[in-house]
Amino acid sequence: MAIKSVGVIGAGQMGNGIAHVMALAGYDVVLNDISEDALAAAIAKIDKNLARQASREVITEEQKADTLKRIRTTTRLADAGAVDLVIESATERETVKQAIFEDLLPHVQPHTILTSNTSSISITRLASRTDRPEKFMGFHFMNPVPVMQLVELIRGIATDQETFDSCKEVVAKLGKTAATAEDFPAFIVNRILMPMINEAVYTLYEGVGNVESIDSSMKLGANHPMGPLELADFIGLDTCLAIMNVLHDGLADTKYRPCPLLTKYVEAGWLGRKSQRGFYDYRGDTPVPTR
């Protein structure tokens, strides 16, 4: 099936990036959120990121203008259903995602493919709550979406070949690379990445090193572009904790037990960059370690 229109549900950090790359690739995009302020902020962010690409001559000014014209915003979920492909990109909570798909179903077309940008939740389970499990799959972008080259494509147990092929074609049109993952907790990237971040938090919790020494060790000793604690702040500590809980609950292995310090930071509302405090304090000119 040729996909021409895309509905993106959720205008946050991931949603605005998905809308950006989809519109830039020529798709007509309907960007939905419950908040008008979130939609306005998303369009401003997309405009800023497109301007950065234009200044670096990655795209032309004409492409920038055309891309913005292809994005329509709405607070009505029904508007996001009248498309060929839906990408749900709401908060990483299964109950929220299930409620969105339930409310969306009366408004989708018979051929509409439903996907979720979830980073860890069972695709099979989400699909089972819809009327089209064969046309449902995981479409997991990496953050920041305009920059990162990978998209994880995750089939549920019922996903048919036509749906998979259509989504793989979209990834190719975006100029990104698809990695096929099986539907097990956290898929590939986060199955490997999150336990590393969690272990870095344990290393901090147990006093083996402080924030600065842990991040410096992994940047200079393992050639990582960001230290694990810096990366956790960038992702969001609440998201990291949610994924570790999915791994722990889904695989029933104690090696995935979230570090108590990670839980404590989330309880404090210190979620990383988005709340101005996490393993670093971002309220000043330069990030300062909090431990």
Q: For residue range 88-116, what is the model confidence (pLDDT) as tens digits?
A: 999 888 999 999 999 999 999 999 999 99
Radius of gyration of the chain (CA): 19
pLDDT at 11 over 80: yes
Alpha helices in the chain (DSSP H): 13-24, 36-55, 61-69, 94-104, 123-128, 161-173, 189-205, 211-221, 228-235, 237-251, 260-267
- DSSP-derived pairing of the beta strands 280-281 and 150-155: unpaired
- pLDDT given for residue 159 in this prediction: 97
Whole-structure pTM value: 0.90
Is 120 catalytic? The answer is: no
- Which residue among the candidates 152, 166, 198, 230 is catalytic per the annotation? 152
Instruction: Check: CB of residue 7 under 8 Å from CB of residue 89.
Output: no
> 116 phi and psi, to 5 degrees?
-125, 140
Is 224 catalytic? The answer is: no
The CATH superfamily label for domain 5-182 reads NAD(P)-binding Rossmann-like Domain (3.40.50.720)
Rounded to an integer, the average pLDDT of 18-28 is 98
108, HSE (Cβ side, Cα atoms, 13 Å): 23
CATH code given to domain 190-289: 1.10.1040.10
* pLDDT bracket for residue 2 (50, 70, 90): confident
Share of the chain above pLDDT 70, in %: 100
Is 248 catalytic? The answer is: no
Whose tokens are 């891309």? That residue is 67
DSSP 23: H
pLDDT at 1 over 80: no
pLDDT at 23 over 90: yes
- Which residue among the candidates 119, 120, 122, 198 is catalytic per the annotation? 119
13-38 CB burial, b ≥16 within 10 A, e <16: bbbbbbbbbbbbbebbbbbbbeeeeb
Rounded to an integer, the average pLDDT of 253-273 is 97
Rounded to an integer, the average pLDDT of 168-177 is 97
Rounded to an integer, the average pLDDT of 186-198 is 96
Rounded to an integer, the average pLDDT of 152-164 is 97
Neighbours of 90 (CB within 10 A): 21
Residue ranges for the known binding site for NAD(+) are 10-15, 33, 92, 97, 119, 143, 274
* pLDDT bracket for residue 289 (50, 70, 90): very high
pLDDT at 216 over 90: yes
Is 140 catalytic? The answer is: yes
Q: Which residues pair with 288 in a beta bridge?
A: 281
pLDDT at 14 over 80: yes
Domain boundaries, the chain: 5-182, 190-289
Q: H or E segment at 139? A: strand 136-141
pLDDT at 55 over 80: yes
Give Dmax over CA atoms of the chain in angstroms. 56
